[in-house]
Amino acid sequence: MLTNPSQLILKNSDLFTNENVLVLNYEGDLLPKQLLESAASVTALALDYNHHLIMSNHSAANLTLHFGHQLPTNDEMFDSVIIYYPKAKALASYLLNLAGQHLRADGNLVVVGENKGGIRSIAKQVPDYFDAPFKRDNARHCLLFISQLIKKAPAIKLTDWVSQYQLDTPQGEITICNLVGVFSEKRLDEGTKLLLSHLPKLSGRVLDFGCGAGVIAAALLKAQPELKLECVDINAMALKSCELTLEANNFTAKTYPSDGLSQTQGHFNGIISNPPFHDGLKSTTEIAKTFVRESVQKLANGGCWHIVANRHLPYSDTISEFFDQVNTLAENNKYKVYSNK
């Protein structure tokens, strides 16, 4: 089943007849493959690892799939580039730069998004190397805009898209490098502060689940640089941010994408997280259960499981179901720190 933006793209597939097409930030469906009914070839870059895995199960001739914050090479050029307008508005400007870098002269830019998702501001966001975008179609509560590359776009320089700042943590001051589209308040959020204020002594191989820009990872290594730390996230921009944060602090850890804990290997002596779950999502309870269940399977004997979560989320019952015991080590009016110790 195609998402509404993907259905709108397919409705306008005549735009891509016999073209080499690049799709950026695609959603959790099979649109890149279905485009091959009109396009000569399709290259798709997913910023969400789950979306990449969905497509990876449907490989096809003339279909190239990548996961990451950019393509493996900067010199690959396309006749058209499709951008799915991102939920984080700041990320749109980055994607526009990336699209311009890979478009042939006079190539077409197609931007699609939901009416309520910020796409109406695209005319103000398009840089001067594109001409003024015009609305080509409007259906299924979505808009589709078209523009054309009118002059050479600048190469992507990550330093132009990184916000670097100092952050005070209970473990000391650390440097954070945050790419556009990655959540950051430029201060220690309440949940992470509560977690870091009640860190256990860890040892051996430790997993930072949902690492984001690397705040918890850097604080952990500030206190215990001897840890063998692995950092996973589903978001490509977050993973690159975490890598940059580790580098800025002269710390070493392994970073890689994982959908839940599925791509992790072996067992961990510790799992620590401020899980990326939010109130109001129907999937919250099931995601929490999956994370807790997988954590039990991934913990070594005697391993430490230590997380912070919104106190209104159903973690107590879920943890009790899968762990022999659950302890609330700290709490405030918004968050609780849970541990199996």
* In this structure, CATH architecture of domain 4-156: 3-Layer(aba) Sandwich (3.40)
**pTM for this predicted structure:** 0.95
Among 200, 198, 199, 193, CA closest to 215:
193
Q: Show contacts of 147-151: CB within 8 Å, 24+ apart.
A: 147/108, 147/109, 147/111, 148/106, 148/107, 148/108, 148/109, 149/100, 149/103, 149/104, 149/105, 149/106, 149/107, 149/108, 149/109, 150/106
CATH class entry, domain 159-339: alpha beta
Query: How far is it, in rounded angstroms, from Cα 189 to Cα 196?
Result: 11
pLDDT one-digit tens code per residue, 10-41: 999 999 999 999 999 999 999 999 999 999 99
Structure tokens at 320: 């009790």
Q: What is the token pair recorded at 337?
A: 């720190």
In angstroms, the CA 236 to CA 122 distance is: 23
Q: How far apart are CA 44 and CA 67, in angstroms?
A: 8
How do residues 88-131 score in pLDDT, each as one tens digit?
Answer: 989 999 999 999 999 999 999 999 999 988 999 999 999 999 99
* Per-residue pLDDT at 149: 98
Q: How confident is the model at residue 284 (pLDDT cuts 50, 70, 90)?
A: low
What confidence category does residue 326 fall into, taking pLDDT thresholds of 50, 70 and 90?
confident
What token pair was written down for 56? 């990876």
- Rounded to whole angstroms, the Cα distance separating 137 from 49 reads 29
Gap between the Cα atoms of 160 and 163, Å rounded: 8
Q: How far is CA 85 from the centre of its chain?
A: 14
Element (H, E) at 294: helix 284-298
- Quick one: CA dihedral 52, 80, 102, 132, positive or negative? negative
Residue 217 binned pLDDT confidence (cut-offs 50, 70, 90): very high
Are the C-beta atoms of 86 and 112 separated by less than 8 Å? no
Q: Which residues face 80 on adjacent strands?
A: 21, 108
Inter-CA distances, 138 with 11, 12, 31, 135, 141, Å: 10, 11, 18, 8, 7
pLDDT digits (tens, 9 = 90+) for 137-183: 999 999 999 999 999 999 999 999 999 999 999 999 999 999 999 98
Least confident of 4-18, 109-123, 217-231, 264-278: 264-278
Q: Smallest Cα–Cα separation from 196: which of 227, 229, 218?
A: 218
159-339 has the same fold as 4-156? yes
CA angle 142, 147, 152 (to 5 degrees): 140
Q: Which residue has the higher pLDDT, 185 or 232?
A: 232
Domain ranges for the chain? 4-156, 159-339
